[in-house]
Every structure is written in C-alpha cells, then in structure tokens.
A and B are shown apart, each in its own frame.
Chain A
C-alpha cells in the first residue's frame, strides 16, 4: 500500500505543475496589454502601474510564473480587482454553498442512479430495463440549465411550491435552505444519476453472472438476499470509485445550476468574475477546482485499493 501511495503522490507533482502552467498561461491569452485588459474600464495610470507591479508584468515570463506560483504556494491567489478582497477569502466564502449543493446532488444521484441501475440489471431485457435505459439517455442528453428552467416554471411559477431562486444557509433556517436547494441539487444530480445508473447496471450484470452469485443461489438463499447482500455489495465498489471520477462534471454543472437558480456559490463567482474581467478570481477558481479534482481522484484511487483486497496485496 505504501509504495502505491508514494508512487501516486509523486505522480501528482508533474500534474500539478502542468495545471499551474495552464492556468498561469491563461493570462497570456489576453489581447494587447494585459494590464489594460485586467483593469477593465479603469484607465488610471496609478492603477495600471499597481497591476503591472502586482503581476510582475514588466518581468520575463518565467519570472512572472515563479512569482505567481510562489504566491499560490503561500496561499496568495491574488486580489479581486472588483471586490478588493483576496481571491482565497472569496473562494472560502462561496465554497460551502457549492459543497452543500454538490453533496445534496451526490445523495440524490446515488439514490436514483444506483436504485435504477440495480433494477435495470435484475430486470434485464424487460420493459423496465428499456425504460430505465431510456431515462438514463434522457438524463445524459438534457442540458441541466434547460431542465432547471423547466423545473422553475413547474414548481415555482406554475405550482408555487418552491422558490424560483436564491439561497438560505442551513445554519440560518434548515427547512428554507432545503426548499431553496432541492431543485438545483436535483438538476445538478440528474446527469450524474444517469452516469451512475449506467455504471451500476453494467457492474451488476457482471456480478450477477459470477460464480459467487451462482453459489449463493445454489445454497438456496432468497433472491433479494442474493441481489442485495452478494451481488450489489461487490458491484458497488467500482461504481463508487467511477462515480468519484465524475465529480469534475459535477463541479462544471454547478456553474450553470448556480447561474440558473441565482445561488451565490463559486460557480456564480467565476461567471460574475468573467463579466467583470476579474481575471485573478477566474484563475483562482480554476486552480482550486482542478486541485480539488486531483485530490478527489487520489482519494478515489486509495479507496479503490483499500476496498479491493486483491489490489491491496
């Protein structure tokens, strides 16, 4: 286990290096004088000078990169031009909102995706199987911002059951928080549920055809016990880890969902920053999401090895 962990951690170093190069490289795409582009409407020479100093724009490119990476490693992701606050502080403020949304989306997609996948595998070749497969295809093909708009129309405008937009923290008012986040979480979890359903179905079909399931049946165990205790327990191991790999998609989806439902998470932060030309925030959010994704992948890999006894040895 330790050599595996060491090798995986070593692999992270070049990956993180290239991530930092890509994200730093983004500001080189700005047309013309980067200081002017970053300043937006501001044309005050003092401000331009401050930007040039802050980003070391008068220095060669590799020096600029080293200063930037040095800042990142010491927790300094720069300052928001618009909000005049450190980028890290802004991300720390918005992160819990996106995290709540993502966790709810994962819970919803696990409940729908795994259940539907198991049912589909058990009822293979029947109408139920086809219906679940069609549902998964629908989930993968529906843009989540469109689904969000349709659900707002149905549940907020037409039925008036839920608020159309906004966000309330669960620490302020739990029920109101649930009301404001249940629709966005469902929208966010929708395509994730479809992916989980496909993974679960295929893993369950493999497990159902295995020797240990045949043995369990031969022992005379009831079918629900065979499915739930023997097949499903083994099938879910790869599903959980494959699910973790899809978390990047969830973070991407959060950008659109937060925009549709006006939720002040970090998806909305990046979009607002794009339109205010607040490039340090755009870079900061991209860097944090990429690092989060890399760490989640590492955790998924470790979990996979820990759960699977054959790999542990």
Chain B
C-alpha cells in the first residue's frame, strides 16, 4: 500500500491523450506519415499560391513536353502544366478522403452504438443490413452508386461514404459490446443515467481511440477509391484536375509521354502510404495491446 502510494506520488500526471501523443511522437514512421499529410494539406489549401501555372491553362506550343526547368513535371496532351495539376489534384483527393469518411463516421458510429447498446432485435437487424452492404464488393457498389447518382466528385464521395459505413458500424458495435460490461458502465447505469447519456458520455469517449485509428486507415482507402472512380470517369469531371483522371489520360499517351503517368500515381501512393503508416502508428500509440 505504502509502495503504491509512493509510486503514485513519484509519477507525474499524464492524460491519456498526452500519453498517446508522446508515444506517437516517438514513432518515426508515423511522424513521417504525419508530416507528409500536413504537407499535402498545405499544398491543397494554398494551391493557387504554390502552383506555377493555372491548372486548366492550355498551351498548344507545349504539348506533351518532358520535365524541364519551365515545367518540372512536364506537360500533358493539352500543354497544361502537370505540376500545377498534381498540386490542384490534391484538393479532390483529400476532400474525398475526409468528406467520405466523415459521412461513414457520422452514419456508422450512431448506428453501431444503437446496435451495441440497443436490444437484441435491433442488433440482429442492423447486423444483417451491415452484412448485406459488406457483401457487395466495395468498389463495385461504389461504381453502381456513382453510376445511378450520376458521375461527379460529390456523388463519388457519397458513394464511398455509404460503402464505408458498415466498417464503422461493425467496429463501434464490437467496441460497445466489449465496453458495456465494464464496471464503470454498470456504475453509471446504477446511479440512474439514461441509456443515451451512458452511450454518449461514458461509452463513446472510451471507444473513440479505435474509431480514430479506423478513420485514419479508411481515409487511405477512400483516397484510392476516389482515384479509382475518377480513373473510370465516375469521380471528378474534366477539366478539373484529379489524380485518378490524370492517370486515365496518361494511359493513352504511354508511348509518347510516359512522365504523364508517373506524378499523379506517385502522389496517390504517397498520400495513401502516409495515412496507412500514420494509422499504424496511431494504433500502436493509442492501444499497444492491439499489435
């Protein structure tokens, strides 16, 4: 008893979020991912200031020029500057990643809470609907949705958000099931807290770390999904730049202008890699038992 009291006095108080942040800072790969993401966000936010040219400006005298001092990444089939288009393309990708996962999060978490904390029947019905959406292969359902809604970046984000929702429903439900038998939830119930308050004030804060990790990793998947839909012509519509549609065009000029295929792909790869390694790092720092 005396030893534990002494230990309690010696240890400085550290909140769970501060501890997680300290652990995250100690992980070099996660910090690398974080820095790259911050860079991408800055590039997207200040695109008009950073981009050397207007991304839609065509120049018939500079069609398919290889990388040079004037055009660091070269030019495309309409003489547009590829560096400027890659910079502006970051907007569509990051926006799609964040917006679609916000949709999935805002839909999936309340439904998951309801499934985990509601009755047996609610859980069973939500479970079967979740199974049904998960049974439809992610991209095929997103393509079908984007096709019926009409091709646009906004509809691509809705399609990706809807198809990602079951992942958050399942994760939230699983976490709620694990947490709701804990003593502090029993105590909250015993003192007469209503179910809604218990779910929002006691359960949600405790399952949030796992949801944040999932959201980070899902943004990576959403960026690939948006690029895939744009590659197929179902996402961002021309002439607005997007990495996926740039790759679609690049494929037609592979023999005469191979550089057109390099930069947008590299940008997708870097963005996705950064979110993946940040997600891995967050998982380790928020819950070391997960690994």
In the complex, what residues of A have CB within 8 A of residue B251's CB?
Answer: 149, 152, 260
**Closest CB of chain A to B257's CB: distance in Å?**
11
Task: Count contacts between A and B, CB distance < 8 Å.
Answer: 142
Most buried by A among B137, B149, B276: B137
Majority SS at the chain B contact face: helix
User: Interface-forming stretch among B10-18, B61-69, B225-233?
Assistant: B225-233
B198 at the interface (CB under 8 A from A): no
Q: Is A70 an interface residue (CB 8 A)?
A: no
For the complex, is A120 an interface residue (Cβ under 8 Å from B)?
no
CB contacts under 8 Å to A, within B92-130, are 125, 128-129
Chain B: how many interface residues by the 8 Å CB criterion? 45
A77 within 8 A of partner (CB): no
Residue of B nearest to A259 (CB): B232
Kindly state whether residue B138 has any CB partner on chain A within 8 Å: yes
A142 to B264: give the CA distance in the assembly, Å.
12
**Is the CB–CB distance between B276 and A140 below 8 Å?**
yes
Contact with A along B143-172 (1 / 0, CB 8 A): 111111110000000000000000000000
- Mask, B253-264, CB within 8 Å of A = 1, is 011001001001
Please report which residues of chain B, range 166-219, place their CB below 8 angstroms from some CB of chain A when the two chains form the complex.
Answer: none
Residue B269 at the A interface, CB < 8 A?
A: yes
A125 in contact (CB, < 8 A): no
Residues of A within 8 A of B128 (CB): 11, 14-15, 17-18
| Shortest distance between the CB of A272 and any CB in chain B (Å) | 11
A104 at the interface (CB under 8 A from B): no
Interface residue from B129, B145, B265 paired with A143 (Cβ < 8 Å): B265
Q: Is the CB of A149 within 8 A of B250?
A: yes
Check A30 for interface membership: any CB of B closer than 8 A: yes
> CA A234 – CA B125 in complex, angstroms?
36
B179 to chain A, nearest CB (A): 25
For residue B234, which residues in chain A have a CB less than 8 angstroms away from its CB? 274
Given A141-B273, A157-B258, A15–B131 Cβ distance below 8 Å? yes
The reply to whether A141 and B129 form a contact with Cβ atoms under 8 Å apart is: no
> How many residues of A are in contact with the other chain, CB < 8 A?
53
B144 & A286 in contact (Cβ 8 Å cutoff): yes
Given the complex of chains A and B, what is the CA–CA distance between A2 and B90 in angstroms?
Answer: 53
Nearest CB on A from B181, distance (A): 24
Q: Which residue of A lies closest to B134 (CB)?
A: A248
- The yes or no answer to B56 lying at the interface (CB within 8 A) is no
Residues of A within 8 A of B264 (CB): 146
**How many whole Å from A203's CB to the nearest CB in chain B?**
14
User: Measured between alpha carbons, how far is A129 from B227 in the docked complex, in Å?
Assistant: 31
- Please indicate the chain B residues that have their CB under 8 angstroms from the CB of A142 in the complex: 269, 272
Q: A248-B137, A279-B148, A289-B137 are in contact. Are A270 and B143 (CB under 8 A)?
A: yes
Are B272 and A255 interface neighbours, CB within 8 A? no
Known: A140-B276, A291-B135. 14 other contacts (CB 8 A): A18-B128, A19-B132, A22-B133, A29-B149, A143-B227, A146-B264, A146-B268, A149-B265, A150-B261, A157-B254, A248-B135, A249-B137, A255-B140, A294-B135
5 cross-chain pairs, A with B, having the tightest CB-CB distances, nearest first: A18-B132, A146-B265, A252-B139, A141-B273, A14-B128
Contacts from A to B (Cβ < 8 Å): 11, 14-19, 21-23, 26-27, 29-31, 137-138, 140-143, 145-146, 149-150, 152-153, 157, 164, 248-249, 251-253, 255-256, 259-260, 270-271, 274-275, 279, 282-283, 285-286, 289-291, 293-294, 297
What are 24 A-B interface contacts by the 8 Å CB criterion? Answer: A22-B132, A22-B133, A22-B136, A27-B148, A137-B277, A140-B276, A141-B272, A142-B272, A143-B227, A146-B247, A146-B268, A150-B265, A251-B140, A255-B143, A259-B231, A270-B140, A274-B146, A274-B232, A279-B147, A286-B140, A289-B136, A289-B137, A293-B135, A297-B135
